Structure 1
Amino acid sequence: ASTEETCRVAAAQLKKFSGFDKVMIYQFDKDWNGDVIAEAREEEMDSYLGLKFPASDIPRQARELYKKTPYRLIPAVDYEAVKLYPVLNPKTNGFTNLSDSNLRSVAGVHLEYLRNMKLNASMSTRILKDGELWGLIACHHRTPNYLSYEACSVFELMSNVITTKISAVQAADQLVTSADSQQKLYALVQLIYQQNSPDAYQSLIASLLEADGVAVVLDKAIFTGGKTPSDKEIEDLTFWLGSNETDEIYHQSSLSSVYEPAETYAQQASGLLAIPVERGKGNFILAFRTEAVQKVTWGGNPSEAVQFESDGKKYHPRASFRNWQQTVRNTSMPWKEETLKAATDLKNVLTSYRLNNR
């Protein structure tokens, strides 16, 4: 089963077990925005499946707390907070740190956020992968919902099951990808040592790096194949890359966001993976990916996620969660970790070849 299928089953079973009106599984992207990848709900509840929620909904300090505590239960948003007494701990002469306590009160802005969603109770359970926060199991209810400690423990157990399944699925996928990459790299190495002609092995590089176009820049000569910028544009790009003073592989899915001249050829080369073979001499392997226009549907306008009052200090969460669509341009599909590893292997092969054949 895929990660999404595993999460769909988990959401359905947890809803059935807990009685929550809606159970969602929420996966973080690289910018900590959250994508709802699975959902089980009552018909009357709004569907958030497939929507993206801004990172500000779960700020950094909240994400850090999920590494310490497995879940956060708010059984009723209209609860009355009880102050600790005494205010200062007599043993430490300082405030009591409640970070590890499930009974600590909730920030008023978060309660307002839940009320704006027309909710009366919520629960969030972490999903960790390799010690980092991968996602959350988010539960919503229209009336107060008091869960026992035993019931909360079931959510924690299911979180571990999901983590194990995700790791297993991704490990299997990586094994297949790695085997395929090694096979392509072996064929590429043979071709390089047999023919040493960039025209002969460009297509294999494109296949290895899953690129739409490749430019091989060696000793001031430029060899291109597939969808690439012009030779002059490639020459300017390699000069810019060379000025970065790093021999590490460079990758970018939105080249024009960091290199303004790339806007003119963003349609055929929005993404760049640059392999420095001999940076000082301007020798590079450049892999390009075409623009992949994406329509992202957000749960409310992300630019209105936080609204400040006139004093600039007090703030409120957004009141609307209606679908808000954004068109993302000048961006390619992202470069996967497996592709970056293959690029590193290729760099090592080419660097060794150049050193041994001077």
Structure 2
Amino acid sequence: MNDQLDLLNRLPLRDNLRGLAPYGAPQLDVPVLLNVNENTHGLPQEVADAIAARVKSAVAGLNRYPDREFTELREALAKYLGHGLSAGNMWAANGSNEVLQQILQAFGGPGRRLLSFPPTYSMYPLLASGTDTEYVTARRGADFGLTADQAAKAVRDTAANIVVLCSPNNPTGTALGLDVVEAVYEAGEASQAIIIVDEAYAEFAHVGTDSALTLLPGRERLIVSRTMSKAFALAGARVGYLAAAPQITDALRLVRLPYHLSAVTQATALAALDHADALLANVEEIKSQRDRIVNELTSLGLQPAPSDSNFVFFGGLKDPHKVWQGLLDAGVLIRDVGIAGHLRVTAGTEAETTAFLDRLRELL
């Protein structure tokens, strides 16, 4: 590895990329994979068949470029989200990471800064580096929460050009109140900051947890990003999207690569949206297992954070790496996110959840 690093450093790499490590979680071949917040239920057969049929139809035209504007997909996404949105409000790309990258390409760059609130999604600083955008942070509270006053002060103090709020937050699973989003938007008025609310796990939220989609009217600098990787079980298809004012999507057209969404990707996403009800039925089962994990970890004397996502972040561990290794030795892979005393586990199927909890009890 050191030889590889030496060879890399011999190249005329940009200074702000030197010393960085690429994003990645362990990809190990074990029976129970609960480390990257995938939807472990997989696709219902009816949805798999529908996707196969749509893709087969698209294959006939693969000698031609796909619809550059992916109009049918934008219309379907707007219908799925509701809230009075239209195709003009929608944008999509190859995973929500590419959506975020395009936002930074359009609104970030040299001399501009991105503000976020760790612990949060570890891709944000990497996306900032990749677009030569300065990355600045403000800490969350001891309970991993974030108040409107805290967040607004950080926006004013940093004069950030872009602010990203992750809700539900990864890796903690905690959701933000809409008062935080409103306060951040108002605080960003002076610097005309773009405010991104990353709602990758929104479908898993408890009833009563409001989406920032409700705040879009009248806020042209607000963006709500989503993904089809989690609730729609399409992590392998790479489909992310956002909702925002039409002028935001116009800005992203300036930086997107030509024909960036393949015909196969568009066909896959459209078929999944046609069967949203069947896919979201699995979401309810996942939420049930998440709540089961929270309850059982609490009974074991651990401290799970309140979760509105498809995973549980928990503390109270004297030696989290030893627990992580003990689980792995039993064929259960969860995530060590590098936060002292804590680990994170995806809510899987009932059998996968049972395997995790049984082994954890033994280790404790």
Please confirm whether the aligned pair reaches a TM-score higher than 0.5, indicating the same fold.
Answer: no
Report the TM-score, using the length of structure 1 for normalisation: 0.28
Higher RCO, Cα 8 Å, sep 6+: 2
More strand by share: 1
Bigger radius of gyration among the two: 1
